[in-house]
């Protein structure tokens, strides 16, 4: 610590982080040292992008992070916290920017925000609602997509989270936007000439494109055994193709917020894999490529909400039905590391929607991995901008 104090200066404020993972997917929670932001949460998101993006790069990318690092910047004051509709806000960070919702990070944040009693970090900690019968605490998190309610299992007195039981969150309004869309891909040596795929699109706090792997000749074995590089190239080309086709922009158009209207991820779905956890009707697996081709180790919580909305739109699930969603990590390690999603209710957005809009519940486990204090040194030749090996190779 003496070294850190010696190297620190007002222009190089140390940044304190708590690191966690949810089903193997990291969340680096920035709890102290981030510059002040003002305005609504979406305005704060814009400020973070335009004025402080060097901090995201330093913490997410090498040498402090890595290509698949994920982050969460706590925002103690937002328009929703001021109105009493949320306990705290958050901005989510990726390898190339700022996402609008993240389920795995929300699960991790639920545990941390119950565990911390530092009122500088979480001023509204004492306002959490504790249920002594269920031994749970409830908190409202203001994410860029809206307010989500998190239920965190606790110790008998509510002072700490109980890691043996899963955290759950209730989603923002979720809805399918397009089903069975045929998309023609540019020619490649990886697939036949004039190759097309059929995809679905849905929103769960961010917009997702879903492709069943059984239609892909280079994934004949599904997600049991495959070439990750080929899957990466395919999803990258597919996402670029979708973004280049103006006639497909409706599939990731939010009815109320333009800032939410972008395609965040492509997910490869294998509905033949996975063990159903207790109280769920079935299981499937998925592999998520998001942001700049980050690979999600978790089943992707906001995508689970989007998949539930898809299943409801297709009539495959009804209210109260639950489904187990696996990632490669839970498939290969512990089934219990999967997420379980439940369709809660249908809601009216007050807009003309092609498919129904639903609320969902997603639950999973998160664990702590570390506590870090990061610094910058003015004479550091390569470490203060952040880099990736993938970026250096292009």
What pLDDT shows up at residue 271? 96
What pLDDT shows up at residue 246? 95
What pLDDT shows up at residue 8? 45
Whether 107 shows a pLDDT value over 60: the answer reads yes
Q: What is the mean pLDDT of residues 292-307?
A: 98
Q: Which two tokens stand for residue 138?
A: 């409830």
What is the four-CA torsion angle of 128, 131, 137, 141, rounded to 10 degrees?
-60
Q: Which pLDDT band holds residue 6 (cuts at 50, 70, 90)?
A: very low
Q: Which pLDDT band holds residue 12 (cuts at 50, 70, 90)?
A: low
Tell me which of 190 and 17 has the higher pLDDT.
17
- Enter the pTM of the model: 0.96
- Report d(CA 324, CA 340) in Å as an integer: 5
Contact yes or no for 98/292 (Cβ under 8 A): no
What pLDDT shows up at residue 372? 96
Q: Which pLDDT band holds residue 350 (cuts at 50, 70, 90)?
A: confident
What pLDDT shows up at residue 3? 47
Q: What is the mean pLDDT of residues 274-296?
A: 97
Identical fold at 2-166 and 174-364?
A: yes
DSSP labels, 286-320: EEEEETTTEE-SS--HHHHHHHHHHHHHTTS--TT
Q: Give 128's DSSP letter.
A: -
Tell me which of 195 and 379 has the higher pLDDT.
195
Q: What is the mean pLDDT of residues 197-215?
A: 97
102 in catalytic set? yes
Q: What is the mean pLDDT of residues 134-161?
A: 98
Whether 21 shows a pLDDT value over 60: the answer reads yes
- Report d(CA 307, CA 313) in Å as an integer: 10
Where are the domains positioned within the chain? 2-166, 174-364
Q: What is the pLDDT of residues 33-86, one digit of tens each?
A: 999 999 999 999 999 999 999 999 999 999 999 999 999 999 999 999 999 999
Q: Which of 102, 174, 209, 357 is catalytic?
A: 102
Cα 85 from chain centroid (whole Å):
22
Burial tier of 57 (Cβ tally within 10 Å: 0-12, 13-18, 19+): buried
Q: What is the mean pLDDT of residues 12-35?
A: 94
End-to-end Cα, the chain, rounded Å: 38
What pLDDT shows up at residue 1? 47
Q: Residue 116: is the preceding peptide bond cis (ω within 30°)?
A: no
Q: What is the mean pLDDT of residues 292-311?
A: 98
Q: What is the mean pLDDT of residues 120-139?
A: 97
Which of the following CATH numbers is that of domain 174-364: 3.40.120.10, 3.20.10.10, 3.10.310.10, 3.90.650.10?
3.10.310.10
Whether 2 shows a pLDDT value over 60: the answer reads no
Q: What is the pLDDT of residues 172-193, one digit of tens each?
A: 999 999 999 999 999 999 999 9
**Fold for the domain defined by 2-166:** Diaminopimelate Epimerase; Chain A, domain 1 (3.10.310)
Q: What is the mean pLDDT of residues 229-241?
A: 97
Mean pLDDT of all residues in the chain? 95
- Report d(CA 288, CA 196) in Å as an integer: 20
* Cα four-point dihedral sign 311, 316, 271, 214: negative
Whether 275 shows a pLDDT value over 80: the answer reads yes
What pLDDT shows up at residue 343? 98
Residues of the chain with pLDDT > 90: what percent?
A: 89
Contact yes or no for 325/284 (Cβ under 8 A): yes
Q: Which pLDDT band holds residue 4 (cuts at 50, 70, 90)?
A: very low
Q: What is the mean pLDDT of residues 187-200?
A: 95
| Per-position b or e across 151-177, b if 16+ CB within 10 A of its CB | bbbbeeebebbbeeebbbbbbbbbbbb
């Amino acid at each position: 610590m003496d070294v850190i104090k010696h190297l620190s200066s007002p222009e190089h404020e140390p940044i304190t982080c708590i690191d966690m993972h949810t089903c193997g997917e990291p969340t680096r929670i920035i709890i102290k040292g981030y510059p002040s932001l003002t305005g609504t949460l979406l305005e704060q998101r814009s400020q973070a992008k335009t004025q402080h993006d060097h901090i995201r790069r330093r913490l997410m990318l090498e040498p402090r992070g890595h290509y698949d690092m994920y982050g969460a910047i706590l925002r103690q004051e937002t328009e929703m916290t001021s109105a009493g509709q949320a306990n705290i806000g958050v901005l989510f960070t990726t390898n190339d920017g700022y996402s609008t919702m993240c389920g795995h990070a929300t699960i991790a944040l639920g545990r941390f925000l119950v565990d911390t009693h530092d009122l500088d970090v979480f001023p509204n900690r004492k306002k959490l609602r504790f249920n002594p019968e269920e031994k749970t605490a409830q908190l409202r998190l203001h994410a860029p997509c809206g307010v989500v309610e998190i239920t965190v299992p606790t110790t008998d007195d509510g002072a700490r989270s109980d890691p043996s039981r899963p955290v759950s969150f209730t989603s923002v309004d979720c809805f399918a936007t397009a089903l069975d869309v045929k998309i023609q891909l540019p020619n490649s040596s990886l697939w036949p000439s004039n190759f097309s795929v059929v995809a679905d699109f849905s929103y769960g706090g961010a917009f997702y494109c879903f492709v069943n792997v059984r239609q892909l000749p280079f994934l004949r074995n599904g997600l049991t055994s495959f070439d990750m590089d080929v899957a990466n190239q395919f999803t990258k080309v597919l996402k670029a193709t979708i973004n280049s086709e103006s006639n497909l922009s409706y599939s990731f158009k939010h009815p109320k917020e333009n800032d939410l209207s972008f395609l965040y991820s492509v997910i490869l779905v294998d509905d033949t894999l996975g063990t159903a956890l207790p109280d769920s009707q079935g299981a499937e697996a998925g592999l998520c490529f998001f942001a700049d081709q980050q690979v999600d180790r978790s089943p992707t919580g906001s995508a689970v909400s989007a998949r539930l909305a898809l299943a409801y739109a297709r009539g495959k699930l009804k209210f109260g039905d639950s489904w187990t969603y696996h990632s490669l990590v839970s498939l290969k390690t512990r089934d219990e590391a999967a997420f379980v999603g439940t369709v809660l209710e249908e809601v009216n957005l007050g807009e003309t929607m092609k498919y129904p809009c639903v609320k969902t519940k997603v639950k999973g486990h998160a664990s702590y991995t570390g506590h870090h204090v990061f610094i910058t040194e003015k004479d550091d030749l390569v470490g203060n901008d952040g880099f990736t090996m993938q970026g250096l190779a292009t």
